[in-house]
Amino acid sequence: MKRILTVQDISCIGKCSLTVALPIVSAMGIECAILPTAVLSTHTMFRGYTFRDLTDDLDGIIDHWVAEGLDFSAVYTGYLGSQRQLDIVSRLFDLYRGGYRVVDPVMADNGKLYPGFTEAFAREMAKLCGKADIILPNMTEAAFMLGVPYPGENYDEAYVRDMLKKLAALGPRIAILTGVSLEAGKLGAMAYDSEKDEYFYYCREHLPAAFHGTGDIFASAFTGALVRGGDYQEALRVAADYTVECIALTLGNPDHVNYGVEFERAIPYLCERIQK
């Protein structure tokens, strides 16, 4: 069985980071190993959350895996909170060169950094992206990493292509910008493969809602589909289709919670989708 290692926090309640990566990767028939970077009572959009930093434990955990000779088909990182954690992931990428290295540089959305993140951290995250094979920033994260103004909704396809080339110049083979809308009512992701000098765009209907954790759901399904043997284009389509299904099912339930999507009810859809 293939094994993905994902490095991110545990938000005990929040439907994000490890509480979505574990069930999604597992549902795709892949073992999901975890390196939990911190434990929070909730994600940081709640008020008054508790936070336990696990950075001091991480090197020892990795050393044990190295001693055991364990390997991974992909190392996929999400929310990381400090320079030390970036350095530890950088070490992991050096240790595990055989699989995909996927970085979702989780730190911002809608033009703003999440609580606790700084522009200096974004520049450091950009360096980690340079060591990845594939990166998955949204527009805001890309703007912070490149040190350019957030364009809001004022961009066109030429702007997105230019941004993707600049992201690829950081070092990853493939850069994928999420949350890209090139026509009214549609939302999708555009990828640039720097080896083939090839762009790829996939979009779906733009549902009238924004939920927390959907980026983590997208990245988990993307990495799962990639490791299952799909190319990055098919992985992107699977991830977008599953994310749309999650949001649609959530909007269909008037009693849904406001802090995340009902990705659980869309797992049967995901299992069927990856058989196609």
Kindly state the number of chain residues that form the binding site for ligand PXL, as judged by CB under 6 A: 15
Tokens encoding 118: 């700084």
> Is 115 exposed, middle or buried (CB count within 10 Å of its CB: 0-12, 13-18, 19+)?
exposed
Asked if 9 touches ligand PXL (CB under 6 A), the answer is yes
Is residue 114 involved in binding ligand PXL (CB under 6 A)? Answer: yes
Which token pair is 271? 């299992």
Is 6 a binding residue for ligand PXL by CB under 6 A? The answer is no
Site for ligand PXL in 27-56 (CB under 6 A): 40, 43-45
217 alpha carbon, distance to own chain's centre: 7
- Using CA atoms, how far apart are residues 270 and 116, in angstroms rounded to an integer? 33
Q: Is 26 or 42 the residue whose CB approaches ligand PXL more closely? A: 42
Strands 112-113 and 108-109: antiparallel
The answer to whether residue 19 forms part of the interface with ligand PXL (CB under 6 A) is: no
Cα angle: 48, vertex 78, 53; to 5 degrees: 45
**Closest to ligand PXL by CB, 8 or 168:** 8
User: Please, which residue, 136 or 168, has the CB nearer to ligand PXL?
Assistant: 136
Report strand pairing: 134-135 vs 100-103.
Answer: parallel
Q: Is 16 in the site for ligand PXL (CB under 6 A)?
A: yes
- Smallest distance, ligand PXL to C-beta of residue 215, A: 6
Shortest Cβ distance from residue 136 to ligand PXL (Å)? 12
Q: Which of 5, 7, 17, 179 binds ligand PXL (CB under 6 A)?
A: 17
5 and 76 Cβ atoms separated by less than 8 Å: yes
Asked if 241 touches ligand PXL (CB under 6 A), the answer is: no
Question: Nearest to residue 80, comparing CAs of 47, 107, 58, 51?
Answer: 107
Find the Cα–Cα–Cα–Cα dihedral 258, 262, 264, 270, rounded to 10°.
Answer: -140
| Binding to ligand PXL in span 80-109, by CB under 6 A | 106
Binding mask 198-217 for ligand PXL (x = CB under 6 A): --------------xx-xx-
Residue 109's φ and ψ, nearest 5 degrees, are: -160, 160
Least distance CB 157 / ligand PXL (angstroms): 27
Chain contacts with ligand PXL (rule: CB under 6 A): 9, 11, 16-17, 40, 43-45, 79, 106, 114, 212-213, 215-216
